[in-house]
Amino acid sequence: MDFSLPPELEEKRKVVRAFALREFADEKKRYYDEHEKFPFEIRKKAMEEGILNYGNYWDLLITIEELFRVDPGLGFSIFAPFFGNENILLLGNDEQKKKYLEPVLRGERIMGFAVTEPVAGSDVAGIASKLDKQPDGSYILNGSKMFITNGTIADQLVVVARSGPVPSEQKRHHNMSMVIVETKWPGVSTNKLYGKMGMRASDTAEVIFDNVKVPKENLLGEEGKGFYYAMNFFNISRIYVAAMAIGIAQGALDIIVEKAKKDKAFSSMEGTQFTIAEIATRIEAARLITYKAASFLFQFNPDPVLTSMAKYYAAETGTYATEKALLATGMDGALTSLERMFRDAKINEIWEGSSEIEELTIYRMLMKKLESD
Ligand SMILES: Cc1cc2nc3c(=O)[nH]c(=O)nc-3n(C[C@H](O)[C@H](O)[C@H](O)COP(=O)(O)OP(=O)(O)OC[C@H]3O[C@@H](n4cnc5c(N)ncnc54)[C@H](O)[C@@H]3O)c2cc1C
């Protein structure tokens, strides 16, 4: 068993860190957070410099960590334009990949993944948006989606909606389908949401579908399997959310360590030493679970229990680290990036499955496994 990363990944870590330290200047971090604007020009630079490598999953994981370590809001905005692309990669046919995946990977189009609705957040089976099948095989989409990342800037969204009736209370997750919707199509409208707690440099919106005609060619995978496809996607995305949270925790540790290096009175306090030791230990634990879960996923053999453990524990570690670092550094911390990182960290406990949902998944799957052993 070898716990060290290959040299090329360690090298990539340095390249991404140098990019983030250069491009995420303090005034930019503050500007995009305060104005809740998407940083198009920083994303463009990241694409030009080949910062995101979607062809190598480990490379992507390390890159996310290093971007979020310097600034979660700006880091997310570089990564988010690809959000949901795995659905097209895994389910799309050649034409769909050529038309909708390749331009996203080249950085020419922005995409999003629309699952959440005003009445269906954690409860994905509660989705009410409807895809009504027409005699020619196309669909008419009606409904609304909430908290959609890139909602107002995306060119296309992968949308999960109900394509048939709810068979029974136990089978609420049946009869959902996944389709690709272009946001320029008639009937698609968006409302940008302002004032969210964290990740403010990212775009979040309500998306409304009013009699949107979706050609049959835009169905992803098989009709009726949308719920299972979405769960499969979350098994992938939760690993990346865990990496985001580890990056944030590492960034908080960097700030407190930097202060300890400069301020002898601060570093000589036992409280400071305990805080640094505790945060560093939790980061190590979160990274180990995440890398273990990632190693199963990247070999196409995901372990949903480990994945949920990674997302749950890393997200809590991000919040823990930023909160403890804020407490330890006092006014200094409140006036630095820590204040923003604390707000950003909390979001990781909500999206892609809240901490409670991860705990329920861990419990249920663990019990199932133990009962069958
Ligand atoms: C910044 C941001 C960006 C987002 N981007 C996207 C996006 O691009 N696409 C998308 O589809 N969604 C997106 N979301 C939505 C996100 O995935 C949901 O917020 C999340 O799934 C939780 O749903 P909810 O907010 O409706 O909360 P709810 O589901 O209403 O949950 C509220 C609380 O109740 C708890 N809870 C719910 N059910 C249970 C249960 N059975 N047992 C115990 N506790 C429970 C939850 O843990 C939580 O604490 C985004 C959210 C945010 C904040």
Taking the CA of residue 124 as reference, the ligand 1 atom at the shortest distance is: 21
Pocket of ligand 1 (CB under 6 A): 83, 112-116, 121-122, 147-149, 196, 199, 204, 347, 350-352, 354, 356-357, 360
Taking the CA of residue 151 as reference, the ligand 1 atom at the shortest distance is: 8
Q: Rounded to the nearest 10 degrees, how much is the dihedral formed by the CA atoms of 219, 239, 351, 235?
A: 40
Taking the CA of residue 122 as reference, the ligand 1 atom at the shortest distance is: 29
User: For residue 372, what pLDDT band results from cuts at 50, 70 and 90?
Assistant: confident
Amino acid at 65: E
Average pLDDT over residues 250-272: 96
Contact partners, residue 104, CB within 8 Å, separation at least 6 = 81, 82, 85, 88, 110, 111, 156
pLDDT higher than threshold 90 for residue 351: yes
The residue whose CA is least distant from atom 38 of ligand 1 is 122
The two most distant CA atoms of the chain are separated, in Å, by 76
Taking the CA of residue 357 as reference, the ligand 1 atom at the shortest distance is: 47
The residue whose CA is least distant from atom 25 of ligand 1 is 121
351-354: Cβ within 8 A, 24+ apart:
351/147, 351/241, 352/234, 352/237, 352/238, 352/241, 352/311, 353/122, 353/234, 353/238, 353/308, 353/311, 354/122
Whole-model pTM? 0.96
More confident residue, 337 or 198: 198
Q: Which CATH number is associated with domain 228-372?
A: 1.20.140.10
**Residue ranges per domain, the chain?**
7-82, 109-224, 228-372
- Superfamily of domain 109-224 in CATH is Butyryl-CoA Dehydrogenase, subunit A, domain 2 (2.40.110.10)
Buried residues in 170-208 as b, exposed as e (16+ CB within 10 A):
eebbbbbbbbbbbbeeeebebeebeeeebbbbbbbbbbb
Return the SS3 of 157.
strand
Distances (CA, A) of 314 to 85, 282, 359: 23, 8, 13
Count of CB atoms situated within 10 Å of the CB of 103: 15
Tell me what pLDDT residue 288 has: 97
**For the segment 126-174, what is each residue's pLDDT rounded down to a tens digit?**
999 999 999 999 999 999 999 999 999 999 999 999 999 988 988 999 9
Residues labelled as active-site residues:
352
Q: What span, in angstroms and rounded, lies between the C-alpha atoms of 290 and 307?
A: 7
Average pLDDT over residues 273-283: 98
Which of 147, 150, 229, 238 has most ligand 1 atoms within 8 Å of CB, for mutation? 147
Q: Return the DSSP state at 101.
A: I
Which of 85, 233, 350 has most ligand 1 atoms within 8 Å of CB, for mutation? 350
The residue whose CA is least distant from atom 30 of ligand 1 is 121
Distances (CA, A) of 89 to 9, 77, 170, 299, 310: 24, 21, 30, 16, 24
Distance 146 CA to ligand 1 centre (A): 10
Distance 254 CA to ligand 1 centre (A): 30
Distance 308 CA to ligand 1 centre (A): 15
Distance 353 CA to ligand 1 centre (A): 6
Tell me the pLDDT of the chain averaged across its residues: 96
Helix and strand counts by DSSP (H, E) for the chain: 14, 8
User: For residue 243, what pLDDT band results from cuts at 50, 70 and 90?
Assistant: very high
Distance 124 CA to ligand 1 centre (A): 9
CB 56 within 8 A of CB 68: no
CA atoms within 13 A on the CB side of 158: 31
Distance 237 CA to ligand 1 centre (A): 14
In sequence order, the β-bridge partners of residue 249 are none
Average pLDDT over residues 61-73: 97
More confident residue, 369 or 251: 251
- Residue 160 φ then ψ, to 5°: -105, 125
Tell me what pLDDT residue 357 has: 95
The tokens of 269 are what? 């306090």
Task: Tell the residue number behind the tokens 């273990």, with chain if given.
Answer: 292
Taking the CA of residue 150 as reference, the ligand 1 atom at the shortest distance is: 8
Tell me what pLDDT residue 306 has: 96
CB 195 within 8 A of CB 206: no
pLDDT higher than threshold 80 for residue 332: no
Tell me what pLDDT residue 330 has: 86
The residue whose CA is least distant from atom 12 of ligand 1 is 116
Task: Tell the residue number behind the tokens 């979001």, with chain if given.
Answer: 347
**For the segment 8-56, what is each residue's pLDDT rounded down to a tens digit?**
999 999 999 999 999 999 999 999 999 999 999 999 999 999 999 888 9
Which helix (H) or strand (E) segment holds residue 352: the answer is none
Q: Alpha helices, DSSP H only, in 71-205?
A: 72-79, 85-91, 94-96, 102-105
